[in-house]
Amino acid sequence: MNYGKAFVPGLIAGLAMAIVGAVLNLFWQEIFPSLKAESATLVFRPEADPLFWAAFICPVFLGLVMAYIWQKSGGRICFFTFCLPSDDPSKKDVLGFATTFIIMALISLLMTYSSFSMSFLMFLVWCDSVIIQYFLGTWILAKMIK
Amino acid sequence: MKKVLLSGLVAGIAMAVVGMVCNMLWQKLLPGLEVQYQAPLFRPWSDPLMSLIFVVPVLSGFVMASAWKAVGGKLCFCEHDVKDVTKNILGFVGFFIVLSVLGMLMTYSCFPMSFLMLVTWCVSMVVEYLVGTWILAKMIK
């Protein structure tokens, strides 16, 4: 199996996820100005801190990891087949793969929400971004890795 | 299904306990951490939402049990005999660790926590996943 073939799709999926995450972040800050004010508090890392920008690199690494796993498993890595609505095998793969990653990410986000003094609105917005990013990333991988 | 729920619950509770013990050990070994936890960055223990940190490992236990039942040892990144339980466990744990470390890096980049705290969380997480997966491997055949 040539894992090098997964690199480019992973990079593209990761970059798409990073861009969508950044756009959604800006979008929600426009809709809910309180989020912008909250982001400027001491609870969050300021933009002037170079570590802040690592938040945009993580989705790229995630894209590469997802591509590697998709390549290895052929997209069939669903942990929760019993709850998927589609009968179409290709759609089921995308749904199952994305759902698996989304559920794990949401559990991590719940841990973050319970530990840090962030608002419930911020938590919801992050959950929403995670769901959209993972579906987009998985859809790109399904299209690019045959 | 009953087996998955029961093993997930046992693994999750074990992970929560291991997490608490690791946290206490780290705070004894590195007293600076205790001071950091009292900063306004973190929720105080008086906040009911803080108790969710004990629920999350149990939820993780259910997810891991469902995953172990569905894919078992097939998550290992290396080629191996699926009857090799040690490699099955390591591969399974590796999968969760890679994703969790990326999530933790994301948290580290968003919140002004120290690097030392990030390292302690990562080490505790590895121990928790190893214990949880070992229990699942024993309970779900």
Cβ–Cβ contact B5 with A under 8 A: no
Report the domain count for chain A: 1
Q: Which chain B residues are Cβ-neighbours of A50 within 8 angstroms?
A: none
Whole-angstrom CA distances from A16 to A20, A53, A74, A140, B77 are 6, 16, 21, 9, 25
pLDDT, one tens digit per residue, over A95-130 is 888 888 898 899 989 999 999 999 999 999 999 999
DSSP, residue by residue, B85-103:
HHHHHHHHHHHHHHHHHHH
Res A63 pLDDT > 90: yes
DSSP E strands: which ranges in chain B?
none
Of A52, A80, A107, the CB nearest to B109: A52
Which of the two residues, B118 and B89, has the higher pLDDT score?
A: B118
Of B40, B51, B108, the CB nearest to A117: B40
Mean residue pLDDT across chain A: 86
Query: Domain-by-domain residue ranges, chain B?
Result: 2-139
What gap in Å lies between CA A19 and CA A63, rounded to an integer? 12
Q: What is the ipTM of this complex?
A: 0.84
Report yes or no: A70 and A97 within 8 Å, Cβ to Cβ. Answer: yes
Residue B42's φ and ψ, nearest 5 degrees, are -100, 150
Domain range holding A118? 3-144
Question: Using the beta-carbon criterion (under 8 Å), do A45 and B98 form an inter-chain contact?
Answer: no
> In the prediction, which pLDDT does A86 show?
61
Mutate to test the interface with B, among A17, A81, A108 (most CBs of B within 10 A): A108
Question: Using the beta-carbon criterion (under 8 Å), do B110 and A55 form an inter-chain contact?
Answer: yes
Q: Calculate the CA A118 to chain-centre distance.
A: 19
pLDDT, one tens digit per residue, over B26-64 is 999 998 888 888 888 899 888 999 888 888 999 989 888
Question: Using the beta-carbon criterion (under 8 Å), do A58 and B63 form an inter-chain contact?
Answer: no
CA distance B44 to chain A (A): 9
What gap in Å lies between CA A3 and CA A46, rounded to an integer? 37
Q: Quick one: closest CA in A to B39, which residue?
A: A43
> In the prediction, which pLDDT does B62 show?
87
Res A80 pLDDT > 70: no
Q: Which chain A residues are Cβ-neighbours of B99 within 8 angstroms?
A: 62, 65, 101, 104-105
Of B100, B103, B109, the CB nearest to A51: B109
> In the prediction, which pLDDT does B123 show?
93
Question: Using the beta-carbon criterion (under 8 Å), do B99 and A101 form an inter-chain contact?
Answer: yes
Question: Using the beta-carbon criterion (under 8 Å), do B42 and A116 form an inter-chain contact?
Answer: yes
